[in-house]
């Protein structure tokens, strides 16, 4: 039977009650003036949050649909792209590009490590001339490993060339610093069910002027994901096909809550909650998976102790704490910090108790820390709760020596 859960998976994430209530409002005509006004206001708000004056197009699709649209609308069959892979969603970009007949030169980075801007520069030096790569593809926040790639610095390197920069920021936008115009990002993809704190169903795709020029040259097949159709329809206050009206209304309410808090405060909240989460899991000797220097503010990946069975850990969290985390295919787990609510702090303070209940044998696990809205919880409040509890279990779980910056 269905019951409310404290979702700490990479997505969908916690949705505030006012957003859920908005999604249950009566349907409106998606060709009428009410929806036209809603779509226009929503687009302006997204432009503000994404720091762009360019086009922001809403697709009724998952984030993966947005990734597909990014490729189909800017590249041609036989074009070469340079793809940096440091997790499962880099692999997804690879699969989509290959499916469209794009030649992909992938550069694999060890899981848990970020893409180094200098590595990007070295690889771009091999892509000169007419046969060189037309675009650089990568993830902003690699959800699968809890790594935040240094996108600003990478974008600076790419801008030294004429390559398009296509970015998957499905779980980064709205939680991490992102300056689309200032950094020179040509195409950026996000999705409603991540840091935006809305139900699943909408992908957001931004397009720069350079991206639209690439669209004119593109010969890849596109129908539902033809972004020019979305741009033309948007100018008339509509979408090419029936949109997920309820999710659009919910997203408007979520953006209202985010505007009340302010983007800088939201980014700071995610950073502080993630830092406190890392301290909490380390306090009970769980090892972090991601390089601490590039740890994601949206998702914390960790390995449980070898005597804990990950399946039992997930079961205990679910059955005894109504908290849902996800086991990663890469043999670790994640906790989401996307969607701030008191339940996150509560579970962070009880890791010792959870681990006692789960003790057996272990593979690995991940947990996410805090998407939008709700009353912000300060880092100090979170840390104090963690320290109050972990001090009671120091004998069973000695404190780690590694410092968290």
Burial 114-149 (b: 16+ CB within 10 A, else e): bbbbeebeebbeebeeeebbbbbbbbbbbbbbbbbb
pLDDT score for 403: 34
pLDDT score for 332: 56
DSSP state of 308: B
What is the topology classification, in CATH, of domain 16-259?
A: 3.40.640
Residues of the chain with CATH 3.90.1150.10: 262-392
Residues of the chain with CATH 3.40.640.10: 16-259
Which CATH code of 3.40.50.2300, 3.90.1150.10, 3.40.50.300, 3.40.50.720 fits the domain covering 262-392? 3.90.1150.10
pLDDT score for 287: 87
Size of the chain, expressed as the number of residues it contains: 405
pLDDT score for 125: 97
pLDDT score for 202: 98
pLDDT score for 280: 84
pLDDT score for 340: 53
CA distances, 3 to each of 7, 144, 184, 311, 324 (Å):
12, 26, 44, 21, 12
Ranges in the chain, pLDDT < 50: 330-331, 342, 360-379, 381-405
Q: How far apart are CA 337 and CA 13, in angstroms?
A: 9
What is the percent of the chain with per-residue pLDDT over 70, rounded to a whole number?
A: 80
């Amino acid at each position: 039977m269905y019951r409310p859960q404290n979702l700490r998976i990479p997505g969908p994430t916690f949705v505030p009650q006012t957003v859920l209530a908005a999604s249950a409002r009566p349907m409106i005509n998606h060709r009428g003036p009410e929806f036209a006004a809603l779509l226009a206001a929503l687009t302006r708000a997204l432009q503000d949050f994404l720091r762009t004056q360019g086009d922001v197009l809403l697709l009724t699709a998952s984030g993966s649909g947005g990734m597909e649209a990014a490729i189909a609308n800017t590249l041609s069959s036989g074009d070469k792209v340079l793809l940096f892979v440091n997790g499962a969603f880099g692999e997804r970009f690879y699969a989509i590009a290959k499916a469209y007949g794009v030649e992909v030169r992938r550069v694999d980075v060890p899981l848990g490590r970020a893409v180094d801007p200098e590595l990007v520069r070295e690889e771009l030096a091999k892509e000169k001339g007419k046969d060189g790569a037309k675009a650089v593809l990568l993830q902003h926040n690699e959800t699968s490993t809890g790594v935040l790639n240094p996108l600003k610095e990478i974008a600076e390197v790419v801008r030294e060339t004429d390559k398009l920069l296509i970015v998957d920021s499905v779980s980064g936008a709205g939680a991490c610093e992102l300056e689309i115009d200032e950094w020179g990002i040509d195409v950026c993809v996000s999705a409603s069910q991540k840091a935006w704190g809305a139900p699943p169903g909408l992908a957001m795709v931004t397009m720069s002027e350079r991206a639209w020029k690439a669209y004119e040259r593109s010969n890849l097949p596109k129908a539902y994901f033809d972004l020019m159709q979305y741009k033309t329809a948007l100018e008339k206050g509509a979408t090419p096909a029936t949109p997920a009206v309820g999710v659009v209304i919910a997203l408007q309410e979520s953006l209202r809550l985010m505007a009340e808090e302010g983007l800088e405060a939201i980014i700071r909240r995610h950073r502080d909650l993630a830092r406190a989460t890392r301290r909490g899991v380390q306090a009970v000797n769980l090892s972090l998976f991601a390089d601490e220097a590039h740890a994601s503010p949206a998702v914390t990946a960790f390995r449980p102790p070898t005597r804990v069975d990950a399946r039992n850990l997930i079961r205990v969290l679910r059955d005894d704490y109504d908290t849902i985390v996800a086991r990663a295919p890469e043999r670790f787990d994640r906790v989401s910090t996307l969607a701030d609510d008191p339940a996150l702090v509560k579970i962070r303070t009880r890791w010792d108790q959870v681990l006692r209940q789960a003790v057996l044998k272990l593979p690995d696990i991940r947990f996410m820390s805090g998407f939008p809205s709700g009353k912000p919880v300060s880092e100090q409040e979170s840390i104090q709760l963690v320290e109050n509890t972990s001090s009671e279990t120091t004998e069973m779980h000695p404190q780690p020596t590694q410092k968290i910056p």
